Amino acid sequence: MLDLKFIRENADVVKNACRVKNFPDVVDDILKLDVRVRELKTITQTKTAEKNKISREIPTATDKAALVAKSKAISEEIANDMAELADKENILIDLLHRVPQIPDASAPIGKDDSANVEIKRVGTPRNFDFTPRPQWELLDMNGWWMPEKIANICGTRTYCLCGELAELELAVQTYVIQKLIAKGFTYIECPSITKPQTIFNAGHFMGSDLNVMNDDVFMLTDTDRCLAGTAEIILNSLHSGEILNENDLPIKYAGFSPCFRKEAGAAGRDTRGLVRFHQFNKVEQYIFCKPEDSDSMHELLLNNLCEIMDDFELPYRVIANSTGDMGFNKVKMNDVEAWFPSENAYRELGSCSSIGQFQARRTNTRYRDNASGEVRFVATLNNTGIAVPRALVPIIENHQNADGSVNIPKKLQPLMGGRTKIGGKH
């Protein structure tokens, strides 16, 4: 959420953020309520002081009954004012949680992903000397999955990998975790079960009513828990309510968890293969830092994912996401998209996001400035490390051979027992 003082002093900037991010403009309502809330606080403070003065006068007054009656009348007025104040504050809080983060000036302006801008392309899509197979054919011919059985057992949008591809999935995750650890990230294996408030604190949903999450989040019936859609949710709240030491910043985490999402894509899209499921595994990069270091940390996170694409020998591109595509809580966002031969297109494998102090205000995560002693909110950032099984799709499609085997990228071979390929007729 944004600071109320900032909204008061920069109403036009906030209104513009609502416009370019395609969210309802509630700024005027906020300013009007803010005036009334501050007015009511002054009124109740004045009346309380008056009531206290009367209370002190009662013991020595000649007409005690009149003062008692006056005190009672003021008490009733205060109670009514306090009731209105509580109601207005609740509405104000809800409206404040409906204001999106201010996008960075560098973000392309646009209503959706059609306004995204490609800023870098690395590698060249492979020219095959045979007709390449789509992912699902490679999976079928090599016995790497059992979609019908798992759908019957577990329902649709679930998956199960078998044999060598399951090994490759583990190798991919392990490689990324080890790479991030070597870069100074602290590895954390995160739970997937959490409280709805934790998801709310990450700032992905508007308003203060937690029921707004029901369409996207798996709630655990008859409990106060739900399933998290990313390790970011847990990592974001790790330092809730703390005042961190400036010398400890930046704090860099590599979180791993199974991820659960009720929304599994538009109807009819990504129904074949390994692109979109209700449950998947993800390694998440997450950073707490000083606000002035946010841009450099963004580049660090983005470069990490680009290096991983290089390590997996994948053609990819980097996208600057438009204001209408970056979501509610982001300052700026870059997607990293790998080449999917079966679709003759680039598809997103990770999103690097700067959140500013938006999440930290919800979690009350701050640090103490060494020079001034001032306590300030930290900035937070996140980026995918790797998400599987989606990341397996460009790996097996780009590295396939005519016989259906798949060459293992060199960096992954040590984690595959030295094997150079899997599948095919061997």
Active-site amino acid positions = 261, 276, 348, 351, 390
Q: For residues 88 and 106, what is the distance between their CA atoms, to the nearest angstrom?
A: 36
Structure tokens at 83: 């009731």
Query: 48 CB contacts (<8 Å, ≥6 apart)?
Result: 78
Whole-angstrom Cα distance, residue 263 to residue 279?
11
223's tokens? 């409990």
Helix (H) or strand (E) holding 230: none
What gap in Å lies between CA 308 and CA 179, rounded to an integer? 9
| Residue 178 and residue 188 in contact, taking contact as beta carbons nearer than 8 Å | no
Inter-axis angle of helices 294-311 and 163-182, to 10 degrees? 140
Distance CA 167, CA 171 (A): 6
Strands 186-189 and 251-260: parallel
Instruction: Tell me the one-letter amino acid at 17.
Output: A
Q: Where in 304-400 does DSSP place strands (E)?
A: 316-320, 332-340, 345-356, 366-368, 375-377, 379-388
Q: Which of 86, 74, 69, 76 is nearest to 49 (CA)?
A: 74
User: Cα separation of 31 and 216, whole Å?
Assistant: 31
405: how many CB neighbours lie within 10 A of its CB?
21
DSSP codes of every residue in 13-70:
HHHHHHHHTT----HHHHHHHHHHHHHHHHHHHHHHHHHHHHHHHGGG-S-HHHHHHH
Task: Reduce the DSSP state of residue 385 to 3 states and report it.
Answer: strand
CA–CA separation, 373 and 371 (whole Å): 6
Query: The tokens of 203 are what?
Result: 């700032």
Coil/strand/helix, residue 99: coil
Using only C-alpha atoms, the chain has a radius of gyration, in whole angstroms, of: 27
Residue 320's nearest CA partner among 18, 20, 115, 111 is 115
3-state secondary structure of 335: strand
